[in-house]
Amino acid sequence: MRGYRLREEGAGARGAEVRRRRRPWGRLGLRSRVTVTFGLGALALSATMAGLTYFTARQFILNERQTAILRQAYVNASLARTSLRSADLNVTQLLDSLDTLPGSLSVLERGGEWYATSISVGENAIPLRLRTMVLSGAPATQHFVLGGTPEMVVGLPIPSVNAAYFEVFSLDELARTLRILALALAGAALVTTIAGAVIGRWASGRTLRPLAQVSRAAETIAGGRLGTRLVAVGDPDLSALASSFNHMTDALQERIEHEVRFTSDVSHELRSPLTTLVTALGVLESHRDEIPERSRHALDLLTAELRRFRRLVDDLLEISRVDTGSAELSLEEVEVGELARHAAAAGGAGDVPVEVDPAVLGVRLLVDKRRIERVVTNLVANAAQYAGGATRVAVEPAPGAVRLVVADRGPGVLLAERERIFERFYRGHSAGQRGATEGSGLGLSLVAEHVRLHGGRVWVESDTEGENRFVVELPVSGDGRAGDDDAAGETAPETTVSLAGPGDEVAPPRPEAHTP
Amino acid sequence: MSSRILLVEDDERIRASMRLALEDEGYDVDEAASGESGLERFTDQPADVVLIDIMLPGMDGFECCRQLRRSSAVPVIMVTARTDTHDVVAGLEAGADDYVTKPFVAKELAARIRALLRRSRSTDDPSVLSFGDVEVRPDEGAVRRGGEEVHCTRTEFRLLCELAANPGKVLSREQLLDRVWGYDYFGDGRLVDVHIRRLRTKIEPDPANPRHILTVRGMGYKLAV
């Protein structure tokens, strides 16, 4: 059986080449190949069986028939001989009195005269070679076709009365029987083939089910839930697969966590010196009147850069928390318009108008206030930095959701960059225009992460009138699950995927218990 | 007389910079480099507000706060390097009234301190608020349950007063944060939740099944008489 082709990094080009050279057979899926193989196997087997059955049966039936025919011909010939010898009997009457099988005809030759029981058959009905052989004194049989039907003729010389007896038997019925047999056998072979293919498909489906589960587990892991593991249910073959899969995931998780912990530790370690810096600069700031002009300018530079540095550390920490999955949502129900107004104000966009669509007035969202505030703040800051400032913040209705829109009238985002600007540290075409920037390069990616944690989406669009809109769509929660004693958020629980063998019952994987 | 602030922080430079900033705001600043020495200093010379860093060598900030609470209702602000739920909630459960996250801006910290001091000196309302077997006396700053005095921190007391002054009315977390802590919209709801929990253990007969301080799902809290 074909298996996986192990490929290490760097062998990509060769892998592609191998893929191109594959034969058409290789292009079929594993399951289709098993199905076809099972079908072909069943076909070969059933065809052989049918063939053997047919030829054995045919041989047997033919032999039986031939024996019967010969016996009757001999009986009739000796009857004819007795009759011809004893009396000057009318030959036609004699032929009529002979006991014949249905469908058989008798022909008698005596002294060059030919007699027959039917006018349709006469001397000419009998093949010439047989006629010659019999008339020269040798008994013979021959198969031939007369008027489209298979016939068998038996010729017996009766030398004692100078005559020869021929009997022509129709094999039409026999041929029909064999034809029906052949048809039945072919039908059976066809059914067997189809059954084989069906069984192949079913069996391969059962066999491949654990693989489907592995693939589902892998997808779950790729989706960020590193705690997912396979549980083999009592099958030694599958246990091996499960344990090596889990081993791989363990190693992977460890490495990722190590890296993320490092980022988190670095951010934490930076906090102590940052605290001193921020506090000490704050003191200097409050005494700026006592500072000479040039030093004041230097102080401003320090303050601005420190603010950016602080933001970078905050963002790094925030993102590492999202990465470890330890980001916990403190969900609270808030009125969406109020949320937008406060967030816009906190984002330093105090003079930016906040427009709340009447359709969403009073709509309450179950969100982590701090994070959504951060989303709006970051979008406003982004607009301030790259688009000359936000022109408005709007709250709009959407089916089953609410949209928070931060609009600007800047140069807009190139189509090709509309997805990429949400990547970490991505600098778009406008990177060169960065003046005194406050950004950490993580702002928009944090927006994307926070929105994702809330089960929403974010995108950027432009209209023909030159307005660019960053749109955050948040689902409106169905149930009001807020106000619990501890508003401590939810974390993604560890998931296990049962790796069940073909015979085992499979428990459905636990539903995504991420965020509302 | 200016208010005294005790600063329990192991990082010498942070301590020095905070002293500068807080002195600029008009406070007297006392320092301690560890939890143990912090407790000693507080016994020698009580402060009006105590700032405790969570990450301390030896006795950590949580333990320091717990020990302080045994003898005093002084307002405590936890200084944390993490905003993770665990640290914040653990700090509040240890008895802290509020928290700030490093790196903080001195002006923010000063605002938090001011809010706490304002609260500790308030109340001249002579009326007695009572529900069940609980009696709240805002003028005395005392709470009695079945005639016996219940020891509350000042924040717990203010929170109880707010609830008791509005019996049967639902107060949202934001309202409580605003009225008790002086926070605007962006205060941390966990402050309210943990303080409510602490209050329940003090005045409810069965804190797991509260009869007086009720949670109203999706809305906030209310006091049932």
> For residue A130, is it within any domain?
yes
Q: Do A283 and B106 touch (CB under 8 A)?
A: yes
d(CA B192, CA B221): 9
Q: Is B141 left (phi over 0), alpha (psi -120 to 50) or beta?
A: left
Q: Do A275 and B190 touch (CB under 8 A)?
A: no
Looking at the structure, do residues A181 and A53 belong to the same domain, yes or no?
yes
d(CA A515, CA A238): 32
Q: What is the pLDDT of residue A491?
A: 38
Touching A: B residues 166-185, CB under 8 Å? 173, 185
Query: In angstroms, what separates the C-alpha of A488 from chain B's closest C-alpha?
Result: 7
Contact A121, A97 (CB under 8 A): no
Query: What is the ipTM metric for this complex?
Result: 0.82
d(CA B9, CA A481): 39
Q: What is the pLDDT of residue A240?
A: 84
- In chain B, CATH 1.10.10.10 covers 129-223
> For residue A49, is it within any domain?
yes
B105 touches chain A (CB under 8 A): yes
Query: In angstroms, what separates the C-alpha of B124 from chain A's closest C-alpha?
Result: 31
B92-102 pLDDT per residue, tens: 899 999 998 88
C-beta atoms surrounding A439 within 10 Å = 19
Looking at the structure, do residues A411 and A274 belong to the same domain, yes or no?
no
d(CA A387, CA A384): 6
DSSP-assigned states of every residue in B184-203: -TTS-HHHHHHHHHHHHHHH
Contact B129, B161 (CB under 8 A): yes
**Cβ neighbours of B14 in A, within 8 Å:** 272, 275-276, 279
Last residue of a domain, one of A268, A295, A327: A327
> For residue A504, is it within any domain?
no
Q: Per-residue confidence of chain A (516 residues) as pLDDT tens digits?
A: 445 565 655 544 444 444 555 566 667 788 888 889 999 999 999 999 999 999 999 999 989 988 988 888 888 888 888 888 776 667 777 777 777 777 778 888 887 778 887 766 667 778 888 888 888 888 888 888 877 788 888 888 888 888 888 888 888 888 888 999 999 999 999 999 999 999 999 988 888 888 888 888 888 888 777 778 888 777 787 888 888 888 888 898 888 878 877 877 777 788 889 999 999 999 999 899 999 999 999 999 999 889 888 888 888 878 877 776 666 777 777 888 888 888 887 766 567 888 888 888 888 888 888 888 889 888 888 888 888 888 889 999 988 889 999 998 888 888 888 888 888 888 766 554 555 566 677 888 889 988 988 889 999 988 888 888 999 999 886 543 333 333 333 333 445 555 554 444 433 444 343 433
Nearest chain B residue to A489 by CA: give it. Answer: B85
* Candidate from A310, A373, A487 with C-beta closest to B190: A487
Read off the pLDDT band of B7 (50, 70, 90). Answer: very high
Q: Do A275 and B185 touch (CB under 8 A)?
A: no
Residues 6+ apart with CB under 8 A from A330: A368, A369, A370, A487, A488, A489, B85, B188, B189, B190
CA B40 to chain centre: 21
* CATH code for the domain of A304: 1.10.287.130
Q: Is A212 left (phi over 0), alpha (psi -120 to 50) or beta?
A: alpha
Looking at the structure, do residues A304 and A349 belong to the same domain, yes or no?
no
End-to-end, the C-alpha distance of chain A in Å comes to 45
DSSP-assigned states of every residue in A114-141: EEESSTT-SGGGS-HHHHHHHHTT--EE
Chain A contact residues (CB < 8 Å to B): 268, 271-280, 282-283, 286-287, 310, 321, 326, 328, 330, 332-333, 338, 342, 346, 364, 369-370, 373, 480-489
d(CA A117, CA A106): 6
Last residue of a domain, one of A192, A217, A242: A217
Looking at the structure, do residues A253 and A143 belong to the same domain, yes or no?
no
Looking at the structure, do residues A302 and A451 belong to the same domain, yes or no?
no
Contact B168, B222 (CB under 8 A): yes
B89 touches chain A (CB under 8 A): yes
| Residue range B170-191: mean pLDDT, rounded | 82
B106-132 pLDDT per residue, tens: 888 888 898 888 755 445 555 778 888
Looking at the structure, do residues A198 and A334 belong to the same domain, yes or no?
no
Touching A: B residues 45-74, CB under 8 Å? none
**Cβ neighbours of A370 in B, within 8 Å:** 186, 188
User: Is 1.10.357.10 the CATH classification of the domain at B129-223?
Assistant: no
> For residue A278, is it within any domain?
yes
- In chain B, CATH 3.40.50.2300 covers 4-120
Which parts of B53-172 fold into alpha helices (H)?
A: 61-71, 85-93, 106-120, 154-165
d(CA A386, CA A468): 12
Q: What is the pLDDT of residue A471?
A: 93
CA A414 to chain centre: 35
Looking at the structure, do residues A208 and A251 belong to the same domain, yes or no?
no
- A75-79, B20-24, B120-124, B183-187: range with highest mean pLDDT: B20-24
**Cβ neighbours of B106 in A, within 8 Å:** 278-279, 282-283
Distances (CA, A) of A17 to A11, A12, A14, A22: 10, 9, 5, 9
Q: Do B105 and A278 touch (CB under 8 A)?
A: yes
- The beta strand positions in A186-257, using DSSP E, are 229-233
Q: What is the pLDDT of residue B83?
A: 64
* Candidate from A274, A373, A480 with C-beta closest to B218: A480
d(CA B152, CA B158): 9
* CATH code for the domain of A334: 3.30.565.10
Cis peptide before B207 (omega within 30 of 0): no
**Cβ neighbours of B218 in A, within 8 Å:** 333, 364, 480-483
Whether the per-residue pLDDT at B16 is higher than 70: the answer is yes
Question: pLDDT > 90: what percent of chain B?
Answer: 33
B103 touches chain A (CB under 8 A): yes
Contact B55, B14 (CB under 8 A): no
Looking at the structure, do residues A155 and A67 belong to the same domain, yes or no?
yes
Q: What 3-state class would DSSP assign to A157?
A: strand
Last residue of a domain, one of A217, A238, A262: A217
Q: Which residue range is the domain that position A236 belongs to?
A: 223-327
Instruction: Using the Cα atoms of residue A415, residue A421, residue A423 and residue A428 in order, give the sign of their dihedral.
Output: positive
Looking at the structure, do residues A147 and A263 belong to the same domain, yes or no?
no
Q: Do A275 and B17 touch (CB under 8 A)?
A: yes
Looking at the structure, do residues A115 and A236 belong to the same domain, yes or no?
no
C-beta atoms surrounding A372 within 10 Å = 24
Read off the pLDDT band of B77 (50, 70, 90). Answer: very high
> For residue A294, is it within any domain?
yes
Contact A217, A483 (CB under 8 A): no
Architecture of domain B4-120 in CATH? 3-Layer(aba) Sandwich (3.40)
Q: What is the pLDDT of residue A404?
A: 92
Cis peptide before B103 (omega within 30 of 0): yes
d(CA A425, CA A440): 8
Contact B119, B177 (CB under 8 A): no
> For residue A111, is it within any domain?
yes
Instruction: Using the Cα atoms of residue A207, residue A212, residue A215 and residue A220 in order, give the sign of their dihedral.
Output: negative
Looking at the structure, do residues A232 and A315 belong to the same domain, yes or no?
yes
Q: What is the pLDDT of residue A24?
A: 67
Looking at the structure, do residues A38 and A182 belong to the same domain, yes or no?
yes
Residue located via tokens 């008798």: A106
d(CA B149, CA A214): 62
d(CA A281, CA A283): 5
d(CA B168, CA B89): 28
Residue located via tokens 């303080």: B195
Name which of A269, A276, A365, A367 to mutate to probe chain B: the one with the most chain B Cβ atoms within 10 A of its Cβ: A276
Q: Which backbone phi and psi does B216 adopt, to 5 degrees?
A: -110, 110
Distances (CA, A) of A180 to A150, A186, A194: 16, 10, 21
d(CA B171, CA B220): 6
Number of domain units in chain A: 3
DSSP-assigned states of every residue in A384-428: HHHSSSEEEEEEEEETTEEEEEEEE-SS---GGGTTGGGSTT---
**Cβ neighbours of B216 in A, within 8 Å:** 483
B196 touches chain A (CB under 8 A): yes
- CA triple A263-A373-A308, angle to 5 deg: 45
The DSSP 8-state label assigned to residue A494 in this structure reads P
Q: What is the pLDDT of residue A479?
A: 43
Residue located via tokens 């951060």: A374
> For residue A60, is it within any domain?
yes
- Which tokens go with A133? 């052989």
* Candidate from A268, A373, A486 with C-beta closest to B81: A268
pTM of the prediction?
Answer: 0.59
Give the CA radius of gyration of chain A. 47
* Candidate from B102, B106, B217 with C-beta closest to A272: B102
The DSSP 8-state label assigned to residue A492 in this structure reads P
d(CA A144, CA A135): 19
d(CA A47, CA A44): 5
Nearest chain A residue to B11 by CA: give it. Answer: A272
Contact B47, B5 (CB under 8 A): yes
List residues bridging with A335 in a β-sheet.
A364
> For residue A76, is it within any domain?
yes
Residues 6+ apart with CB under 8 A from A62: A174
